[in-house]
Structure 1
Amino acid sequence: MFHKLVSFLVLFVAVLPGIAQPRQTIDFNGDWFFTLDDDLNARHADFSHANWKKIVLPHDWSIGFDFGEEYPAGNAGGALPGGAGWYRKTFQLSEKDKGSYYALHFGGVHRYAEVWVNGKYLGKNINGYLSFEHDLTPYLRYGNEQNVVAVRVDNSLQPNSRWYTGSGIYRDVRLEKRSPLHLLREETVITTPEVSAEKSVLNVRSVFNKYTNDKVGQLTLKLQDKYKKTIAEKTVRLSENHFEEKLEVGGITLWEPGNPALYDLSITVLDNSNKVVDELKYPVGFRYFDFDEQKGFFLNGKPFKLLGVCLHHDLGALGAAFNKSAAKRQLLVMKDMGVNAIRTAHNPPAEEFLDLCDELGFLVQNEAYDMWAKRKNKFDYHIDFKEHYINDLVRFVKRDRNHPSVFMWSIGNEIREQFDSTGIAFTRNMTEVVKKLDPTRPVTAALTETNYDKNFIAQAQVLDVLGFNYKIFDYDKLPTEFKGVPLIASETVSALQTRGVYDSVHDTIQLWPASSKDKFVTNGNPDFTVSAYDNVAAYWGTSHERAWIEVKKRDFLGGTFVWTGFDYLGEPVPYPYPARSSYYGIVDLAGLPKDVYYMYQSEWTDTDVLHLLPHWNWKEGEQVEVWCYYNNADEVELFLNGRSLGRQSKTDERLHAVWTVPFEAGELKAVKIKDGAAVQEVVKKTAGKPVDIVVNVEHDRYAVDGLTDMHYITVSLVDEHGTVVPDNDIELSFVPQDNIAIVGTDNGYQADLHSLSSAKRNTYKGLAVGIAQKLNQEKEAKLIIKSNTMEKEIRIK
């Protein structure tokens, strides 16, 4: 059905000043001014913004506030404010720039963005998750005159989401200078009707912005490998305002998550005098796949289980403000766990996020909507849906169809039209739109109704793959209810955990809250925590282990997407305020793995895993359940202060070894046994009082451009022997000294109400994370981390 498919990624390279290029992308993120004073006069070119705050984009104004119960978004929306705000930026163009075409591109603005240039109104963007652009050319000034861009953002209608959205121009903005005659990026489509390691065919088509008969001379297509060796090239004469050409390619490496091989495609347009008038460059990934209703998913001709997670768009302490190195950190943490697929829950991600998925090797189920015409919140997208959903869907597909990582389109998540006949028409309309724009990828939706006669989205009979959220005990009836359609577990688990918390009740799965009748849990913990043993879930979900066991034993399920890879702001089931962020993540909001991370790593990778939990600070004689996640071994032997407590192993129905141990202070050690021999060991020690802080700075692995990179500073509170202290937390201050700014701090605790932008943070279970940015990348940076009794100087090269 979807055999021999490939898609590719648009890449625009910023051009050095003074070098003539047919298309120049100008970083437009710096030197903006911002205010929350909603004065409509700010649209005028002569308005003074002298008293506004100077900022750099991307920018999320909500994340800078302390959390508060009074905000109308509620704790489901992150307990942070919305409101309306203004942005302004001035810039100049030289006289020699006259005659060029200028487009201002916004990667994403939440919400209701209205744009003016030099006082001229350019329009309003409704969808807060999609990119949009405006043609500035007719309104620009040249020479000594200033140009002024003004943007009003209105996120005051609350609640408008089931999670934290952020507020403002929260993705990149760029100004693009083009020749008066240029290719339309949104109409450029690259596919491969034939793909194999031996021979592939690359198909390229595009459209010019206006009639080209007397302007364009020829077109050159060139494909190069990562060593800049040309592997295919073609030059043709042009005579119309559009083209479609093919390149035959031999001897290529296929793109796949384990080896995301990319090639560079350039499309160069010359006029009749052989002058370059436009050029687009695309990294290209060749791959093909198929779904089978009995055998699951196949990639490049081989069975391939989708080991996926769902990710929301916020980046923890950065809020919704997109940062590529922060997103790269998230993805690499997931990759180390064994994740090979991402579901963008439940809206289009930043364009640069998909760039990373292309480069790092993740298959992406790209999702458009969390609701259609029937609302989930009073002011959510349903109020604009009927007027805008087709146009937004078109923009969505055109924006993302050239990414090799994108392998499925999802038109909705748990849509309420699933339960009435309006779902049939909407599903058919949207599927037709997507198929017309991109017939090479399957269309799906994430469903909850497992009876065909009650599921009106499935009854539309146009979706290529059906995704089902939760309902693990209905899995075996799905092939009978929904005959002849491939199936995936589009959302699973919804287990709840707080990193480092271990409750004594852990022998059965507890549902918090117990049913849909209860808004919040009634028997939870007074400190708003949930045990990190994998034994608590929302009433519609189950444990991580149980969900994965049920998926992996069924070949007909193409794979799973766990809810969620990371904790995210908002939707803090199972608690009311002061809980303000989710408990669902395998990794906490600060980016620190919870224990269950290692269960997945032991199941989804060949990395040698031996992870022991919990910590070893308890009351003398207290009965403690000890778990061990492991792989690549037959069993694990546990020792307490040198005495063997026996060997245990995991089973098909329990993915960890387990012992019940009366606590005594000292050393707990797990030894992994394979073929009768010890091959790996791990130790947990009883910690004393904190006497020092240990600091680990991560940057190089997450670096992207040397300009916007984040430095992640993980601080561990340790005793005199270097053991992390899990039960004696203290406040830390991250104090900049030279060439560095503290962007945010976090500790992963879901009910910490201090602003995530604060430079002060309590450790939680012995750990905290600071996020910093160097001001000058060429110079060394220095900061101090201190408490009332300890201090440590950190130098960052």
Structure 2
Amino acid sequence: MKTTFTQKSIFYFFLLCSFHLLAQNKSGRELFLIDKDWRFSFGHLYDTKKDFGHAEGYFSYLTKTGFGDGPAASGFDDRAWRKLNLPHDWAVEQPFSENASFSHGFKSAGKNFPEKSIGWYRKKINIPNEDLGKIISLKFDGVFRNSKVFFNGFYLGTEESGYNGFEYDVTAYVNYGGENTIVVRVDASMEEGWFYEGAGIYRHVYLQKTNPLHVAQNGTYVTSEITNDNALITAEVKLLNKGHFKGNVEINQTVLDASGKQVATNSENVTAPEFYKTNTFSSKLNVKNPLLWDIDSPNLYQLVTEIKSEGKVIDQYKTSFGIRTIKFDPENGFFLNGKHVKLKGTNNHQDHAGIGTALPDEIQYYRIAKLKAMGSNAYRCSHHPPTPELLDACDKLGMLVIDETRLMGINDYHLNDLQRMMERDRNHPSIFCWSVGNEEWQIEGGITGERITNTMQDFSKSIDPTRPVTVGISSGFKSGISSVVEIMGYNYLGNGDIDAHRNQFKQQPGMGTEEGSTFATRGIYFTDDAKHYQSAYDKKPRPTFYSIEEGWKFYAERPYLAGMFIWTGFDYRGEPTPYGWPSVTSYFGMMDVCGFPKDNVFYLKSWWGKEPVLHLLPHWNWSGMEGKEIDVWAYSNCDEVELFLNKKSLGKKKMEQNSHLEWKVNYTPGTLEAVGYKNGKKVLSDIRKTTGKPENIKLSLDKENVLKGNVSVVTVETTDKNGLHIPTANDEIMFSIKGGKILGVGNGDPTSLESDQFIDDIALVAISNFMEQKETTASLPQQLRNYSENEWTEAFKNRDYKKQAPSYIYKGEFDLKNNSTSNVVSFFYKKIGVETVVFVNGNKVEPSKEDFQKYVLNSAILKQGKNTIHIAATPLQKIKDWDVMNTDPGIIQVITPAESWKRKLFNGYAQIIIQKDENAKEVVLSASAKGLRATSLKN
């Protein structure tokens, strides 16, 4: 349905209206999550034919407004495309390839794979007539990367970075009262980072409706000053006027506590900004006896900003915030709410096993909760702005955050990215520091780095003066950025003399922004370079990298250092140092890509956490190594630990602060037990038993403080006849599900080349050699006759639309790589005639009942290799001479059903992420394996 002249006139009339219009809109602002029911297909990096003819038009979308072509055109037929929900990462769906990017985990996507570098997304939405006069916007939290967005064929803009949120106003392009088409073309051929980044619309998308006069994007800024038992809240609000309203409006600011109780309010009349201008207004509110936000009690408040006209709300904007103080001291480190806090942090990228970067919100909470359980209190976003839901999780669970921009520089590209990140994120109480760079080796040690850092720091202060700025430095700590950055960020103590730098710059606070890295494989205790497995014992990996214990001791012993951020909390895809293919993930994590803990987790938990800890390593399944010496370690914060083998004491040892204990034990099957003592009394024990062979599959739901939602994390393992976990098991487990779907599977094996996801393969096969013959009658054949081969001519070539034949018979070809009976082959017909009859390999086929332009082809009439399609049709007629007639008969879709979901255990564990269907009462996950007792889990 096209927008009529009358509709356009009404639209502009509404924009020109002022006071009366604003008073009529009741709620003012609506925000709709539009993640569901998108269509997706791969395009091509440079072959425009394979990119659905995009950018082939005489007029392009850059030449004339509204000329989006190919899939960017609103009328493009996407019925044969895959249907999916967001968030979506197409890279994780691809197989591994040795020719793929080392840094991106060898997934077959990116510039070396032009057929998997471009992704097209399309979605249709209805916008009612009642929205005429509102400002309609599309909001994207992040698309990786270089996205171009179209709306009803109109080009909206390009966002190069995969990490920036962005918003487009589509008000003028809306088909009110009808269907509207959103199109996103994503080019993931170029990498931004040196780590796995995924591909596609991997964060949320929203449709927003506001009054012409409304709070601007990220238009509030809340700060607080605490004096005695009172918090003075300063609430800034930026108003944007996209209409011609003139006069005063009322700004009403209300602070609510966690229970929804009003604790402060303020109202004032202000003059609205001019047309397409913004004005910023500031209000003061007092909160008595505030509940402060901290890592143990993450208390949150909500600011409700209402814009009123004639007493009626025309816009409402909600801002979550916390009340707290932060301070860095060059002598004594970091203080939160006046209390000293040693930063116990981790660096992390944003991918997770099985799902890549397309994390459901629940998994954000799962990962932060895992880090909290380890004793961590701080998180560095490495090395890019995170998705908003990660910061929400940190706010709600009590995790301090360093928020980091992607790239250093002083031009609009760099400073605009920084500003957008800061304005989006500055109300999160979890953020205590901004990072404007990381390991920029080209500029770190010289005057250029100083100049850039000074500019970015001062620019940051203009946006948020309440937080300090840091940069992670790794090429020596002597000059350049190191001499001017507000909070010195040391990346690896082996890269320079930290104490010497501190003695030179005694007024500069510092922290270890990357430190204590190690190489370790979960459950492996003897390094095997041939298999690319690194022992899990905490050892110094190379001269400039220190072990976790060495790193923590260094920072713990120096009060002037605020703390350290370990590289990394979780393993991540890509950067599989020190190995290459077939290693596809890093070895740096305290936990693997699933969140299963490596033994180092328990060292940190001992000295970072508050609860008693005792952890014994390794496992005690060493068949064939009887009598051989095994290194046995204990991680604990107990005073003493005694080790027993089959109830015989091997000695009691005293635990030193921030250390661990070691024994040499000759292997004998049985029971290895550690007993921990505090004040001479037994408080803990940890046991490792030699197990029997695997007999049972065990499924357990992870309840790691995850907020309620539809996504669950399930741990998969095997047990022996006595129910003991098998730490060396590698059985392949098969899965099925009812009442939900499986999102991904993983096991933490850095060399696993197994599929992360099992989804149907959809291939689109073009119809080639499309030819035609004229027919003398409009009556269409119901059986295919023989046609003279000499009379076929190229279809539609030099067609005189004023002298068309009564009907035409068309012939084309399509190739099938295989003709499996399990495949579903369909012909999606694009209308080239008024009446149509379709034949495939001489057999007449009938349209489907749900779509009369879709033909499902029975495998019995198909064959492997070349197939022939005939279409008999009465011709379409041009109404206007300039009408462009469709000459594309359609496309063949081949759906190859996916294999059953499966995953091998790795050193005893695998993980499966499931999502419950919206209307399902329960979800049932079933697991089976050869030689093992099957099981199921209800949730």
Does the residue aligned with 1:602 lie in a helix, a strand or coil?
helix
Preserved contact between residue 212 and residue 240 of structure 1 (Cα < 8 Å): no
Corresponding residue for residue 220 of structure 2: 188
Does the residue aligned with 1:185 lie in a helix, a strand or coil?
strand
Does the residue aligned with 1:593 lie in a helix, a strand or coil?
coil
Preserved contact between residue 196 and residue 254 of structure 1 (Cα < 8 Å): no
Corresponding residue for residue 924 of structure 2: 782
**Superposed displacement of residue 30, structure 1:** 0.6
Corresponding residue for residue 763 of structure 1: 905
Q: Distance in 1 between matches of 2:293 and 2:408?
A: 34
Q: Distance in 2 between matches of 1:491 and 1:573?
A: 16
Preserved contact between residue 391 and residue 430 of structure 2 (Cα < 8 Å): yes
Q: Distance in 2 between matches of 1:81 and 1:96?
A: 43
Pair 1:487 & 2:515 matched: no
Q: Distance in 2 between matches of 1:264 and 1:165?
A: 33
Corresponding residue for residue 889 of structure 2: none
**Superposed displacement of residue 318, structure 1:** 1.0
Look up the equivalent residue of 2:97 and give its one-letter code.
G
Look up the equivalent residue of 1:734 and give its one-letter code.
F
**Superposed displacement of residue 386, structure 1:** 5.3
Look up the equivalent residue of 1:42 and give its one-letter code.
P
Task: Report matched runs for 1:272-351 at 5 Å.
Answer: 273-351=310-388
Q: Distance in 2 between matches of 1:467 and 1:795?
A: 46
Pair 1:27 & 2:27 matched: no
Preserved contact between residue 153 and residue 168 of structure 1 (Cα < 8 Å): yes
Preserved contact between residue 75 and residue 579 of structure 1 (Cα < 8 Å): no
Task: Report matched runs for 1:389-468 at 5 Å.
Answer: 389-416=414-441, 417-452=443-478, 455-459=479-483, 461=484, 463-468=485-490
Pair 1:261 & 2:299 matched: yes
Q: 1:390 to 1:560 in 2, by over 3 A?
A: same
Look up the equivalent residue of 1:753 and give its one-letter code.
L
Between stretches 690-699 and 125-134, larger displacement belongs to 690-699
Q: Distance in 2 between matches of 1:703 and 1:225?
A: 20
Preserved contact between residue 353 and residue 747 of structure 2 (Cα < 8 Å): no
Corresponding residue for residue 86 of structure 1: 120
Aligned residues: 733
Does the residue aligned with 1:238 lie in a helix, a strand or coil?
strand
Look up the equivalent residue of 2:924 and give its one-letter code.
K
Does the residue aligned with 1:637 lie in a helix, a strand or coil?
strand
Match of residue 102, structure 2, among 65, 68, 74: 74
Preserved contact between residue 102 and residue 575 of structure 2 (Cα < 8 Å): no
Q: Distance in 1 between matches of 2:673 and 2:630?
A: 14
Q: 1:571 to 1:26 in 2, by over 3 A?
A: same
Match of residue 568, structure 1, among 555, 569, 572: 572
**Superposed displacement of residue 408, structure 1:** 0.7
Q: Distance in 2 between matches of 1:223 and 1:386?
A: 38
**Superposed displacement of residue 67, structure 1:** 1.4
Pair 1:793 & 2:935 matched: yes
Look up the equivalent residue of 2:387 and give its one-letter code.
A
Q: 1:20 to 1:731 in 2, by over 3 A?
A: farther
Task: Report matched runs for 1:42-61 at 5 Å.
Answer: 42-61=71-90
Preserved contact between residue 494 and residue 538 of structure 1 (Cα < 8 Å): no
**Superposed displacement of residue 160, structure 1:** 4.3
Q: 1:700 to 1:796 in 2, by over 3 A?
A: farther
Between stretches 247-256 and 533-542, larger displacement belongs to 533-542
**Superposed displacement of residue 782, structure 1:** 1.3
Corresponding residue for residue 660 of structure 1: 664
Q: Distance in 2 between matches of 1:42 and 1:756?
A: 29
Q: 1:183 to 1:76 in 2, by over 3 A?
A: closer
Q: Distance in 1 between matches of 2:212 and 2:39?
A: 30
Q: 1:32 to 1:527 in 2, by over 3 A?
A: same
Does the residue aligned with 1:575 lie in a helix, a strand or coil?
coil
Q: Distance in 1 between matches of 2:508 and 2:691?
A: 55
Match of residue 147, structure 1, among 175, 180, 184: 180
Q: Distance in 2 between matches of 1:79 and 1:286?
A: 44
Match of residue 604, structure 1, among 608, 629, 635: 608
Corresponding residue for residue 381 of structure 1: none
Pair 1:246 & 2:288 matched: no
Match of residue 683, structure 1, among 683, 687, 704: 687
CA deviations over 1:289-312 (Å, ceiling 9, x no partner):
111111111111111111111111
Q: Distance in 2 between matches of 1:393 and 1:642?
A: 60
Structure of larger gyration radius: 2
Q: 1:368 to 1:597 in 2, by over 3 A?
A: same
Corresponding residue for residue 140 of structure 2: 106
Pair 1:650 & 2:655 matched: yes
Which consecutive unaligned segments of at least 5 residues does structure 1 have? Answer: 1-18, 374-384, 505-523
Corresponding residue for residue 376 of structure 1: none
Q: Distance in 2 between matches of 1:386 and 1:302?
A: 39
**Superposed displacement of residue 387, structure 1:** 5.7
Preserved contact between residue 782 and residue 793 of structure 1 (Cα < 8 Å): no
Normalising to structure 1: TM-score of the pair?
0.89
Pair 1:123 & 2:133 matched: no
**Superposed displacement of residue 464, structure 1:** 1.7
Q: Distance in 2 between matches of 1:324 and 1:292?
A: 35
Does the residue aligned with 2:735 lie in a helix, a strand or coil?
strand
Q: Distance in 2 between matches of 1:283 and 1:96?
A: 30
Preserved contact between residue 649 and residue 656 of structure 1 (Cα < 8 Å): no
Corresponding residue for residue 529 of structure 1: 533
Preserved contact between residue 369 and residue 704 of structure 2 (Cα < 8 Å): no
Q: Distance in 1 between matches of 2:135 and 2:327?
A: 42
Q: 1:188 to 1:539 in 2, by over 3 A?
A: same
Q: Distance in 1 between matches of 2:427 and 2:290?
A: 19
Task: Report matched runs for 1:609-620 at 5 Å.
Answer: 609-618=613-622, 619-620=625-626
Does the residue aligned with 2:197 lie in a helix, a strand or coil?
coil
Q: Distance in 2 between matches of 1:478 and 1:669?
A: 46
Corresponding residue for residue 10 of structure 1: none
Normalising to structure 2: TM-score of the pair?
0.76
Q: Distance in 2 between matches of 1:196 and 1:698?
A: 42
**Superposed displacement of residue 538, structure 1:** 4.6
Identity of counterpart residues, as a percentage?
36
RMSD: 1.8
Preserved contact between residue 672 and residue 681 of structure 1 (Cα < 8 Å): yes
**Superposed displacement of residue 442, structure 1:** 0.5
CA deviations over 1:373-422 (Å, ceiling 9, x no partner):
7xxxxxxxxxxx95611211111111111111111110000112113332
**Superposed displacement of residue 451, structure 1:** 4.1
Q: Distance in 2 between matches of 1:218 and 1:770?
A: 51
Corresponding residue for residue 864 of structure 2: none
**Superposed displacement of residue 544, structure 1:** 0.6
Preserved contact between residue 496 and residue 538 of structure 1 (Cα < 8 Å): no
**Superposed displacement of residue 161, structure 1:** 2.6
Does the residue aligned with 1:391 lie in a helix, a strand or coil?
helix
Q: Distance in 2 between matches of 1:220 and 1:160?
A: 42
Corresponding residue for residue 179 of structure 1: 211
